[in-house]
Amino acid sequence: MSDLVAIRDLCICFNSELGTTEAVRNLTFNLRRGQITALVGESGSGKSVTANSLLGLLPNNAEVTGEILFTHNETTVDIAQLTERDPRLRSIRGDQISMVFQEPMTALSPVHTIGDQISEAILCHQSVTQEVAWVQAEEMLSAVGIASAGEAMHKYPFHFSGGMRQRAVIAMALVCHPELLICDEPTTALDVTVQAEILLLIRKLHVELGNAVLFITHDLAVVAQIADRVLVMYQGTLVEEGEVREVLKSPKHPYTQKLLKAVPQL
Ligand SMILES: Nc1ncnc2c1ncn2[C@@H]1O[C@H](COP(=O)(O)OP(=O)(O)OP(=O)(O)O)[C@@H](O)[C@H]1O
Ligand SMILES: [Mg+2]
C-alpha cells in the first residue's frame, strides 16, 4: 500500500522585519495508512508548524520549500504548492485531513449548539440533507462516548466539561471520515484521568474507522500508549524515527535518550 503522506525536504521559514526564522529544516518522512504516528519534540522544535503545513494553515509570512505529497483516491497532490484559493485545499481540509487542537474551544463556536456544529461539518463537504447530517452527527457524538447523544446535540459547549468538549471536537473532526486525523497535543489541557480516556477514544476510533493519525505530544509515555511509529524532532529537524518499541528500547539520539529518562515508569 502506498504511503498516505510523503514529506520531502520540507523547509519552513518565517520572514519578519527582524530577519528569517528557520522553523523546519530538510524534513523528510512518510505517514502510512492505518497507523498512528507520534511526532515528539521539545517546545519550539517545529511540531505544530509541520502539522499546520499539512493543512495549508501557515501564515502569510511563511515560506515553504520541498514537497508535502498527499495521496487520496490514487491521486497525489503536493499540498505545499496549493494556494489558499485552490478548491483542492478546501476539500482536503476537514474532509480528507482534519485536526484536533490542544484547546477544544479553538474548534467550537460558543454560540452554536453541538449538534449544529457537527452537522455543519458534514454539510460543508457532503451533499446530504440537514436531516441526514443531523442523524450522522448524532451517531458520531454517541460513538465518541457522549451519553444521551440525542439530548446533547441541543446543548451549547458551555454545558459540557473540558473532556466532553474535546470528545465533541473529535466527533466533528471524524464525522467526514478523513483519511488522516492530526491531533496537536489534544490532551494537554485536560486532567490526567480524562487524558487517558481521550487517548483510548482516539485509539478505538482509529481501529474502527481505519484512519491514519499523526499524534503530536512531548510525552513519551503517551507515545508508548497510543502510537505505532514515532518521529522525533529537535530544533526543526527530524533526528530519529522508527517503530515505537524499537525507539523506546534503544533510543539513538541524545535528545530521545533524555526524553526517555524523563519518563521513569517506562
Ligand atoms: N507565525 C510565526 N512567525 C514566526 N515564527 C513562528 C511562527 N509560528 C511558529 N514560529 C516559530 O517556529 C518554531 C517552531 O514552532 P512550533 O509552534 O512548530 O513548535 P512546537 O514544536 O509545536 O512547540 P510546542 O511544543 O511549544 O507547541 C518556533 O521557533 C516558533 O517561534
Ligand atoms: Mg505546538
Domain edges within the chain = 106-174
Centroid of ligand 1 to alpha carbon of 14 (angstroms)? 10
CB of 25 shorter than 6 A to ligand 1: no
What is the number of residues in the chain? Answer: 266
Q: How far apart are CA 206 and CA 241, in angstroms?
A: 21
Mean pLDDT of residues grouped by 10 in the chain (266 residues)?
Answer: 90 95 97 96 95 95 97 95 93 93 93 97 95 97 95 97 95 95 93 91 95 94 94 97 96 93 72
Alpha helices (H) in 12-79, listed in sequence order: 47-54
Centroid of ligand 1 to alpha carbon of 43 (angstroms)? 8
* 51: helix, strand or coil: helix
Joined grid coordinates for residue 207: 481501529
- Cβ neighbours, 10 Å, residue 9: 11
Quote the pTM value.
0.95
pLDDT number for residue 94: 83
